[in-house]
Structure 1
Amino acid sequence: MSTEAETETPRAEPPNRWTLRPLLLRLHFYAGILVGPFILVAALTGLLYIFAPQLEEAIYDHELHVPASPVSVPLSEQVAAARAELPGSTLASVRPSPSPTDTTQVLFDTPGLAESYHHTVFVNPHDGEVRGVLETYGSGQALPLRAWLDQLHRGLHLGDVGRVYSELAASWLWVVVLGGLALWWGRRRRRRLVPDRAAKGRQRTLSWHGATGTWVALVLLFLSATGLTWSQFAGENVGKLREALSWQTPSVSASAGEHAEHGASGHAHEGAAPVTDVGLDRVLASARNDGLADPVEIRPPSAEGEVYVVQRTERSWPSAQDAAAIDPATGEVLEVQRFEDWPLMAKFARWGIDAHMGLLFGLPNQLVLAIVCVAVLTLVVLGYRMWWQRRPTRDAAFGAGRPFPRGAWRRIPPWGLVLLGAAAVTIGWFLPLLGVSLVAFLVLDVLLAWRRRVRA
C-alpha cells in the first residue's frame, strides 16, 4: 500500500521557466483514466481477430478446400451451378480456384443483405459440385467467423453507435503514446528501455509502464493512424485529404466508353444492340495471358456499356493488386493497371491497411500484432494500478487517485497557449471525437475544481 510520500507530484520548476510537463501530466492522466477502457476493449477485440484467417481455414475446410484432381470443368459451368443454388440473386463477382485444392468462390448480391455482405457459393472446380453457401463480408471475403470478429472489433455489433468506441480509441491512442513518451523520456532516469526491478511501489509500476510503452510506441502510432482510415467521422476527413493530395487508390474503369480509344466494342453507346459475351473462361484466359496470375476476382458487366474487370487479390508481401479491363465482346484487354505504377502514398495506404489486419507479412505480422495487443492490455492495467497507488491513504480509508496539481496553463507563455489552442482546434476539427472528448475533459476538470472549492 502506498503512502502520500510515494505519490508523484511534478518536480518543482523555477518560477520563471516555462514547461509543458504539468499540462502533459494532467492530459495523460485524464486520457488514461477516461479513454483507457476504450483502448483496452479495442486491444482485446483486435487480439481475438488477429488469428481469424487460420481459424477460418480450419472451421470452413469443407467449403474452402477440395481434393486435388488433374481435371476441371469450365468456369462458366461452375458459375451456372452456383446460380442454380441462389436463383433470386445477382452475380457480383467470381474468384476462380487459385490452386487444385481450393474451391471457386462465386459471390452474389442478395436482397436483404447488409451493405458489403454477399452470399458466396463454394464450387468444386473439378466436378462443379456445390460445397456450401456462406454469408461473406467485405473485399477480403471474410467468412462468418472473421466477419463477426471484425464487426466486434469495429463497433461491438452496435452499428454506427458502436463505431464511436473504436474511433475514440484510435483518436486518442497517438496522443496518449506521444504524451507518455515525452513524460517518460523527459526526465533523467537510470533505465528507460528496461523496467527498474529495484524500484518499489508506484515507481516500480511506473518503470514497467514506461519501458513497455517505449517498446511498442511505433506500432501503436501506426495502428492509430491506420485505424482512423476506417473510422466513421475522422475517416471522412482522411478520405478528403487523400483526394486533395491525389493519394487515392487507382482503379480501372468498368465503363466501355472510357476505353473507346483502345478499341472497345459498341457497349459504349447508349441504346446499342447487345453484343455476344465471350464468357468468363475467355476473360480469365485473357487476364492470365496479360500477367494477372492467381488469385484474381472477376467482376462481370452489370449493365449495357460496361466491361469485365479482373483484379488480383493477393494482399501479402509482395503485394499484387494489378487490375485489367476486358472487352466482353472480344475478350481483348483494354487497360491494365499495375500495382508497381501506383502512387507511392497509395501503396503506403494499401500496405498500412493490410499490415493493420495482419495480412501483409503473414504469421510474423500476426505475431507482432498479438504481442502489441498484449502489451496494450498490460499498459492499461498498469496505468490503473498507478492510479490506485496514488490514492490518499492517510486522510481517507478509500479514495481514487487525484489528478496532478492544477495550474499547468500558468507554466506556459501566452504565445505557447495560442499555438496550443490553434493546434487543438485544428486537430479537433480533423478528429471530431477527439475534439469533443477534449472539451468534455476540460469541463470535467473545471467541475472538479469547483467541487473542491465548494467543499473547502
Structure 2
Amino acid sequence: MSDDTVEPLSPTDPPPPARHNWRPLLVRLHFYAGVLVGPFLIVAAVTGALYALAPSIERVVYRDLLAVEARPAIPLDEQVRSARAGHPDLSVTAVRPAADGGETTRVSFADPSLPEDHSRTVFVDPGSGRVLGEQVTWLGYLPISTWLDGLHRHLNLGEPGRIYSEIAASWLWVVALGGTALWVSKAVRDRRRGRQGRIVRVDRSSTGRSRTMNWHGATGIWLLCGLLFLSATGITWSTYAGAHVTDIRSALHWQRPQVDTESSDPHAGHHGMADGAGSATDDGAFDYSGVVAAAAAHGVAAPIEITMPTEPGQAATVTEIDAPYRMTTNAAAVTPGDLSVPSVIDYWRDYSTIAKLADWGIRAHMGFLFGLLNQLLLLAVALGLLTVIVRGYRMWWQRRPTRGSAWALGRPPVRGGLRAVHPAAAGAVVIGALAVGWFLPLLGATLAGFVVIDLALGLRKRRAVRNCDA
C-alpha cells in the first residue's frame, strides 16, 4: 500500500486525498473490514475446513457401521424387520436402503427421549440382516457431521451463535472484491510507471511488507471465485439475510418444489394409528420393497431415502439423496396401500434455473456435490483464506512505528476517502450502502459500528490537535 494511503505519524490532520480518487475509500474500507471482521472469517475458515473433512473422518470413525462385505442383499422388508426387533416400541420414520453391496442400510426411529429432528438410527448389513449398531442422528447426519455442522454454523451455541457466521458470510464478498480492486489497481499503476505489475504471480524479489502484500494479493486473486461462492451460498441459509433471500425466491417462484404427499387412496396411512412422533403406518405391513420399486419406475434412483407418512391419508415420500456427481434430487410420493404414485418431482422439469443453482450451490458448499474433489477444494479455499488473513494482519504489524512502544499498532489508512470522490458518486455510495445494509442486516449493523468508531477516533484526534495547539 502506497504511503499516500497511510495516516502520518504526526498529530496533524493529513492532507485530503486527490479528488475523484476511489483508492483511499477502498483502502480504508478494506482495512477496517479486514481488521475487525478478520476474527469472524478465521473462525469460519477453521470450522469450514474441519467440516469439509467430516465425510472422510466419518468413513474412518464409523467404518464398522457404514461398510460391509459386498454380497447379494436380502429383501429390504427383512432388513427393516431386523432393525425393528431391537426397538419394537418405536416407529420407523425413515429408511435409507444400501445403494450397493458394500454399504449398510439405515433405519431411523422416532424416539421421544431425543431432541427435535433427532432420530435413533440402526445400521443393518443388507447381505445378512444383522444389526451392526446404532447412532443418534440429526436429519440423517451422524454425530461427527452434526457436531462439526453446528460448530461451523453457530459454534454449537444455538441460534445466537449464527450471528458470527452471518457476519462472516455478509462481509466476505466485500473484503474479497475490495481487495481485488486494490490489487489490480496497484498492478495497473506499476505498469504505468514502467514496473512489472503482477496480479496472479508473486514478486519474489520483494522483501518486508512488500513481499507480504504480494503473497496477500496474489493468493486472494486465486481464491476470489471460491470466496464469492462461499459468501453467496452462506448468505442463503443465514438467519436475517437468508430470510430476505427466501422472500425473494418465494415472490419469484424460485423455491425448491415439494412433493405432494396427499394420497388418492382412502385407505392410505390407515394400516395403523399415528403416535404423534413417528409413522402413521403400521411398519410391519409396509411394503418397503414395493415402494422403492414404484418410485424407481418414475425415475427416482438409488441412493434414496424413504420417509414414512406422519398423518393418516398421506403417502410415503421417496427422495434421491446426495451422492458424488449426482445433480438431481428426484422425488415421488407412493401410496403404501396400492403402491400408486400420485406425485412426482422431476428435477430437470420441475426445478427453476435459480432453484437448481441454489440447490447445487448449497450441496457444493457442504462438500457433497463432487465428492472428495469437492471436499479438497473447500479445504484448500479455507486454508488459503487463513493465509490471506494472517498476512493481512502481518502487513498491519509491519506498518507499525519503529520508534516508541514495542506494542504500537500499525497506522490506519488516511482519512477523508469519501470526500475524495465526486459528490454524486459519494451519494451513490451512501445509498448503495443503505440498500446493502437493509438486505444484509448484520453487514449494515457492523458497518454502522465501523463508521461510529471511525468518527469517534477522528474527533479524539482533532481534540488532541487542538490541545497541542493550545
TM-score in terms of structure 1 length: 0.90
Number of equivalenced pairs:
440
Give the structure 2 partner of residue 8 of structure 1: 3
Equivalent-residue separation in structure 2 for 1:397 and 1:147 (angstroms): 44
Give the structure 2 partner of residue 29 of structure 1: 31
Match of 1:208 among 209, 215, 237: 215
Query: Displaced runs of 4+ in structure 1, greater than 4 A?
Result: 11-16, 267-270, 273-278
Q: CA deviation at 1:242?
A: 1.2
Query: What letter corresponds to residue 76 of structure 1 in structure 2?
Result: D
Q: Which moved more, 1:374-383 or 1:192-201?
A: 192-201
Query: What letter corresponds to residue 320 of structure 1 in structure 2?
Result: T
Distance 1:247 1:402, change over 3 A: same
Q: CA deviation at 1:275?
A: 10
Equivalent-residue separation in structure 1 for 2:363 and 2:374 (angstroms): 10
Equivalent-residue separation in structure 1 for 2:92 and 2:268 (angstroms): 22
Match of 1:356 among 365, 369, 379: 365
Q: CA deviation at 1:108?
A: 2.1
Q: CA deviation at 1:382?
A: 0.3
Equivalent-residue separation in structure 1 for 2:322 and 2:230 (angstroms): 22
Match of 1:238 among 245, 251, 257: 245
Give the structure 2 partner of residue 300 of structure 1: 308
Equivalent-residue separation in structure 2 for 1:290 and 1:267 (angstroms): 22
1:445 aligns with 2:457: no
1:127 aligns with 2:128: yes
Where 1:247 maps in the other structure, the secondary structure is coil
1:250 aligns with 2:257: yes
Distance 1:53 1:198, change over 3 A: same
Equivalent-residue separation in structure 1 for 2:83 and 2:17 (angstroms): 77
Q: Which moved more, 1:23-32 or 1:102-111?
A: 102-111
Where 2:249 maps in the other structure, the secondary structure is helix
Consecutive unaligned residues of structure 2, counting only runs of 5 or more, are: 7-13, 191-196, 274-279, 466-470
Q: CA deviation at 1:268?
A: 8.3
Q: CA deviation at 1:278?
A: 5.7
Where 2:385 maps in the other structure, the secondary structure is helix
Query: What letter corresponds to residue 8 of structure 1 in structure 2?
Result: D
Q: CA deviation at 1:338?
A: 1.3
1:413 aligns with 2:422: yes
1:104 aligns with 2:105: yes
Q: CA deviation at 1:397?
A: 4.1
Equivalent-residue separation in structure 2 for 1:452 and 1:13 (angstroms): 15
Query: What letter corresponds to residue 24 of structure 1 in structure 2?
Result: L
Equivalent-residue separation in structure 2 for 1:170 and 1:307 (angstroms): 39
1:236-272 CA-to-partner distances (Å, cap 9, x unmatched) read 111111111211111211112xxxxxxx2125899xx
Query: What letter corresponds to residue 156 of structure 1 in structure 2?
Result: L
Q: Which moved more, 1:388-397 or 1:178-187?
A: 388-397
Distance 1:39 1:16, change over 3 A: closer
C-alpha RMSD of the superposition: 2.5
1:266-302 CA-to-partner distances (Å, cap 9, x unmatched) read 25899xx999966222111212233322111111211
Q: CA contact under 8 A between 2:269 and 2:314: conserved in structure 1? A: no
Give the structure 2 partner of residue 259 of structure 1: none
Q: CA contact under 8 A between 2:19 and 2:422: conserved in structure 1? A: no
Q: CA deviation at 1:15?
A: 7.2
Instruction: Spell out the pairing of 1:418-429 with structure 2 (5 A cutoff).
Output: 418-429=427-438
Distance 1:397 1:314, change over 3 A: closer
Equivalent-residue separation in structure 2 for 1:155 and 1:300 (angstroms): 30
Consecutive unaligned residues of structure 1, counting only runs of 5 or more, are: 1-5, 257-263
Distance 1:431 1:115, change over 3 A: farther
Where 1:333 maps in the other structure, the secondary structure is coil
1:317 aligns with 2:329: no
Q: CA deviation at 1:395?
A: 4.9
Give the structure 2 partner of residue 384 of structure 1: 393
Give the structure 2 partner of residue 70 of structure 1: 72
Q: CA contact under 8 A between 1:97 and 1:295: conserved in structure 2? A: yes
Distance 1:244 1:371, change over 3 A: same
Distance 1:305 1:291, change over 3 A: same
Equivalent-residue separation in structure 2 for 1:326 and 1:159 (angstroms): 36
Where 2:137 maps in the other structure, the secondary structure is strand
Match of 1:281 among 289, 306, 312: 289
Equivalent-residue separation in structure 2 for 1:89 and 1:410 (angstroms): 68
Equivalent-residue separation in structure 1 for 2:132 and 2:281 (angstroms): 33
Query: What letter corresponds to residue 382 of structure 1 in structure 2?
Result: R
Where 1:120 maps in the other structure, the secondary structure is strand
Equivalent-residue separation in structure 1 for 2:198 and 2:244 (angstroms): 40
Query: What letter corresponds to residue 352 of structure 1 in structure 2?
Result: G
Equivalent-residue separation in structure 2 for 1:220 and 1:399 (angstroms): 32
Q: CA deviation at 1:88?
A: 4.6
Give the structure 1 partner of residue 119 of structure 2: 118
Q: CA contact under 8 A between 2:169 and 2:231: conserved in structure 1? A: yes
Q: Which moved more, 1:342-351 or 1:14-23?
A: 14-23
Q: Which moved more, 1:206-215 or 1:59-68?
A: 59-68
Give the structure 1 partner of residue 62 of structure 2: 60
Q: CA contact under 8 A between 2:16 and 2:420: conserved in structure 1? A: no
Where 2:85 maps in the other structure, the secondary structure is helix
Give the structure 2 partner of residue 79 of structure 1: 80
Q: CA contact under 8 A between 2:295 and 2:332: conserved in structure 1? A: yes
Query: What letter corresponds to residue 266 of structure 1 in structure 2?
Result: P
Where 1:266 maps in the other structure, the secondary structure is coil
Query: What letter corresponds to residue 347 of structure 2 in structure 1?
Result: F
Distance 1:70 1:16, change over 3 A: closer
Query: What letter corresponds to residue 353 of structure 1 in structure 2?
Result: I
Equivalent-residue separation in structure 2 for 1:16 and 1:33 (angstroms): 25
Distance 1:84 1:455, change over 3 A: farther
Give the structure 1 partner of residue 266 of structure 2: 266
Where 2:356 maps in the other structure, the secondary structure is helix
Distance 1:347 1:328, change over 3 A: same
